[in-house]
């Protein structure tokens, strides 16, 4: 693989010649020392270099690889875990992975299969004698050497998630550490308790793959593969009969029922050199487990002991007591529109496109929002697409609108250049032709604009906290975020800025309000005498309440009169279960996951299905909330993408390469995808990470926000 523009040309004194491959933690390069020695250099991804956990895991990989270097592994030559981008060099092993070998030439014959099993078992015996557990033995981590005298010899590589027996490093990200469908059942249900037996289980699965071309727990996606591993029986297909008893024992559900790697080696040594024809079985195709056979998911980890401590978007909320506050606050409504904030004519956007209609003269476009040469203007991901256009904010521009047909700038509103000690920037809130943004005077207030003309309608002077359009009103936190649990909130008429009501909440949450039905709001009152209250959005009057479920739960979202709570594990920031509560009756149901997920954003709920973006495993999960059962998960090959959106019977997500992917919401299968709107060749991961803003479909046109910029494309056929 040729080098890319941003690849290093030298690492630790080794000249980099080409790429070998890319893994979850880093990139592997072919390098050469000054003396001409060829090595494989693994360099940690930039996005992980400053992550203390990943740096610790990489140190652990180096230690583990050094402890087990021997006849069946690639020995460590050099390493620097403290470098700006940590790296490790191992002896270069010429050959193909088992996955590549089977993909290119089909299943192994008996001689090659017997040798593979014997050398893998011996490799695991040496690894386990060094008190290391590999934890990710799979076909792509098994190298088959090529060359005279070594053809077919086995090397085990990639100790990236291995664990030394005396290591104190523990996974804190919530990632599923391993690769379904080659993982042992306990890796899903008890990930911190794995031992050498998980490698024996994986050995059995790898042997089935080598003999048949498929895993014994193969399924349409990783989620179902995990379910099959925990609950199903292995599909052995055309595995030769002499291997079946041994492989079956390796694939036992309970670790104690599996042989040790040394015992596997002994039993393999007793197998015949030749396989009689009458003992062969016809090759069977891997079975596909339909979604309808799912029953109960795997047992989740135990109840958490304390709340996750984090500043991520999904922060755990404490409850609050709702109190009426007397007296006025220093919030001023301004209905003027000073010329100092207007850069272009307001009438430029008067010919707005009706919602749902394709803009006249539309063609696919993209806009990188690059600054003018004489103006330092740098837009981040603070953009919100709408049928009226794409509205963006930055530290230099209070608000601008991109034309929905061309992507060109219709108008801009300048940001004050006044120097302030701090300045926050939120994505514009757009609702029914109105746009709400951080105020142009840099006071941390709120400005309301007419999205069609660009005319400013009113202003709330700051400093203020978060704001959102809910229940037909604009709800604003009147206090800045701070150490106090007490904060004031007010509701305003969106078009005029008239204050409708004001209340005080004793809460650690910055966003305790949620959309309710027909002009109502839900307020999270946990921690005080109340539960979840329903309020009249225009008067603030309490209409009723229900007691919330007990425990360290986060109210993730409210949809159609139903509350969805995430339960945090220990201090990991991941969730093993969701609780679903009817806010009319107060009845609560629980949904368990087969592994712990790390949600990056509130779930998307449509009908009886909940879609969760699992950031830790880079997948989208779909669950039937009515029956409390999993439906599907997206392929892990999709990697990172934006939060999902539901439009006209499809799910849409923005991909890092600036394409938009359409999925069938019932099966998770790809319907199609658009071509990338930007040339992303050579861009770093950070540059390609999509915005949290999901794609918008309006009039057969898709609008997306990504690291490289904003774009508009035709919907997937």
Contact call for residues 494 and 469 (beta carbons, < 8 A):
yes
Least confidently predicted of 279-283, 362-366, 531-535: 279-283
Question: CA-to-CA distance for 70 and 499, rounded, in angstroms?
Answer: 74
Predicted confidence band of residue 620 (pLDDT cuts 50, 70, 90): confident
DSSP structure class, residue 311: -
Pair of tokens at residue 5: 């523009």
pLDDT at 420: 60
Predicted confidence band of residue 36 (pLDDT cuts 50, 70, 90): confident
pLDDT at 684: 64
Peptide bond between residue 463 and the one before it cis (omega within 30 degrees of 0): yes
| Sequence-ordered strand ranges (E) for 660-709 | 660-663, 670-673, 696-698, 701-705
Pair of tokens at residue 414: 């300048």
| Short-list 261, 277, 104, CA closest to 197 | 261
Predicted confidence band of residue 279 (pLDDT cuts 50, 70, 90): low
What dotted CATH number matches 100-289? 1.10.510.10
The CA-atom distances, in angstroms, between 534 and each of 179, 545, 588 are 44, 6, 17
Question: CA-to-CA distance for 641 and 631, rounded, in angstroms?
Answer: 20
Residue 254 in this model has a pLDDT that exceeds 90: yes
CA 336 to chain centre: 43
Pair of tokens at residue 231: 């609950």
CA 117 to chain centre: 36
Pair of tokens at residue 457: 């309608």
Pair of tokens at residue 33: 């020392």
Predicted confidence band of residue 519 (pLDDT cuts 50, 70, 90): very high
How big is the CA angle at 600 (ends 596 and 604), to the nearest 5 degrees? 95
Q: Which CATH class is domain 637-717?
A: mainly beta
State the residue for tokens 């920037």. 425
Question: CA-to-CA distance for 433 and 352, rounded, in angstroms?
Answer: 10
Q: Decide: residue 416, CB within 10 A, 0-12 exposed, 13-18 middle, 19+ buried.
A: middle
- 589 bridge partner residues: 580
pLDDT digits (tens, 9 = 90+) for 89-112: 888 888 888 988 998 889 999 999
pTM: 0.57
| Short-list 313, 317, 382, 332, CA closest to 490 | 332
Angle at which helices 110-129 and 261-269 cross, to 10° = 150
Give the chain's length: 717
Pair of tokens at residue 201: 């289980």
Contact call for residues 182 and 250 (beta carbons, < 8 A):
no
Domains of the chain by residue range:
10-91, 100-289, 637-717
Residue 330 in this model has a pLDDT that exceeds 70: no
| Short-list 228, 237, 182, 223, CA closest to 205 | 182
The most confident of the ranges 134-143, 243-252, 641-650, 701-710 is 243-252
Longest dimension (CA), the chain: 92
State the residue for tokens 């904060």. 487
| Short-list 76, 276, 283, CA closest to 159 | 76
Mean pLDDT, rounded, of the chain = 78
| Short-list 215, 160, 136, 201, CA closest to 48 | 160
Predicted confidence band of residue 116 (pLDDT cuts 50, 70, 90): very high
Checking phi first, is residue 389 left (phi over 0); if not, alpha (psi -120 to 50) or beta? Answer: left
Which alpha helices (DSSP H) does 182-310 contain, by range?
Answer: 186-189, 197-212, 222-231, 244-250, 261-269
Q: How far apart are the first and last CA of the chain?
A: 33
Q: Which CATH class is domain 10-91?
A: alpha beta
State the residue for tokens 């139903």. 562
The most confident of the ranges 265-279, 316-330, 402-416 is 402-416
């Amino acid at each position: 693989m040729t080098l890319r523009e941003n690849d290093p040309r030298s690492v630790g004194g080794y000249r980099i010649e080409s790429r070998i491959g890319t893994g979850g933690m880093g990139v592997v390069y072919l390098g050469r020392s000054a003396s001409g020695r060829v090595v494989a250099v693994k360099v940690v991804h930039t996005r992980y270099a400053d992550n203390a956990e990943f740096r610790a895991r990489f140190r652990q990989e180096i230690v583990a690889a050094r402890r087990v270097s021997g006849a069946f592994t690639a020995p460590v030559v050099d390493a620097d875990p403290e470098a700006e981008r940590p790296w490790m060099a191992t002896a270069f092993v010429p050959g193909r992975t088992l996955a590549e070998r089977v993909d290119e030439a089909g299943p192994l014959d008996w001689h090659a299969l017997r040798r593979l099993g014997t050398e893998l078992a011996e490799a695991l015996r040496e690894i386990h004698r060094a008190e290391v557990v590999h934890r990710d033995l799979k076909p792509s981590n098994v190298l088959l050497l090529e060359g005279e005298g070594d053809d077919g010899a086995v090397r085990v590589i990639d100790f990236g998630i291995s664990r030394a027996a005396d290591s104190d490093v523990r996974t804190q990200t919530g990632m599923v550490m391993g690769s379904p469908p080659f993982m042992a059942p306990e890796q899903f249900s008890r990930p911190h308790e794995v031992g050498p037996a998980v490698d024996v289980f994986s050995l059995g699965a790898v042997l089935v793959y080598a003999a048949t071309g498929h895993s014994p727990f193969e399924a349409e996606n990783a989620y179902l593969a995990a379910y099959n591993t925990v609950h199903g029986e292995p599909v052995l297909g055309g595995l030769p009969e002499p291997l079946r008893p041994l492989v079956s024992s390796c694939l036992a559900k309970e670790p104690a029922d599996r042989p040790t790697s040394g015992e596997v080696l002994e039993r393999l040594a007793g197998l015949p050199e030749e396989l009689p024809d009458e003992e062969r079985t016809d090759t069977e195709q891997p079975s596909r487990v339909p979604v309808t056979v799912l029953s109960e998911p795997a047992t989740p980890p135990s109840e958490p002991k304390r709340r996750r401590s984090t500043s991520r978007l999904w922060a755990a909320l404490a409850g609050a007591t709702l109190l009426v506050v007397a007296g006025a606050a220093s919030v001023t409504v301004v209905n003027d529109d000073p010329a100092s904030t207007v850069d272009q004519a307001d009438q430029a956007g008067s010919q707005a496109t009706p919602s749902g209609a394709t803009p006249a003269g539309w063609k696919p476009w993209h806009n990188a929002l690059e600054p003018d040469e004489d103006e330092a203007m740098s837009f981040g991901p603070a953009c919100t697409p709408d049928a009226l256009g794409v509205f963006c904010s930055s530290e230099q521009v209070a608000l601008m609108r991109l034309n929905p047909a061309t992507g060109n700038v219709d108008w801009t509103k300048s940001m004050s250049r006044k120097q302030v000690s701090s300045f926050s920037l939120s994505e514009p809130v757009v609702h029914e032709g109105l746009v709400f943004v951080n105020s142009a005077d840099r006071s941390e207030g709120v400005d309301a604009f007419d999205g069609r003309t660009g005319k400013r309608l009113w202003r709330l002077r700051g400093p203020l906290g978060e704001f959102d359009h809910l229940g037909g009103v604009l709800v604003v936190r009147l206090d800045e975020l701070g150490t106090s649990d007490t904060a004031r909130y007010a509701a305003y008429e969106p078009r005029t800025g008239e204050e409708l009501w004001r209340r005080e909440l004793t809460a650690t949450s910055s966003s305790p309000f949620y959309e309710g039905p027909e002009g109502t709001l839900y307020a999270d009152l946990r921690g005080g005498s109340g539960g979840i209250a329903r309020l009249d959005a225009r008067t603030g009057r309490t209409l009723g309440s229900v007691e919330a479920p007990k425990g360290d739960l986060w109210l993730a979202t409210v949809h159609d009169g139903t509350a969805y709570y995430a339960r945090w594990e220990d201090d990991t920031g991941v969730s093993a279960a969701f609780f679903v509560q009817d806010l009319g009756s107060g009845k609560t149901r629980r949904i368990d996951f087969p592994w712990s997920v790390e949600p990056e954003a509130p779930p998307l709920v449509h009908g009886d299905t909940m879609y969760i973006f699992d950031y830790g495993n880079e997948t989208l999960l779909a669950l039937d909330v009515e029956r409390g059962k999993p439906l599907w998960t997206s392929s892990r090959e999709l990697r990172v993408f934006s939060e999902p959106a539901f439009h006209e019977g499809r799910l849409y997500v923005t991909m890092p390469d600036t394409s938009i992917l359409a999925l069938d919401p019932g099966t998770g299968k790809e319907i199609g995808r658009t071509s990338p709107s930007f040339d992303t060749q050579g861009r770093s991961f950070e540059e390609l990470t999509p915005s949290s803003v999901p794609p918008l479909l309006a009039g057969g046109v898709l609008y997306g926000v990504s690291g490289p910029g904003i774009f508009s494309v035709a919907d997937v056929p």
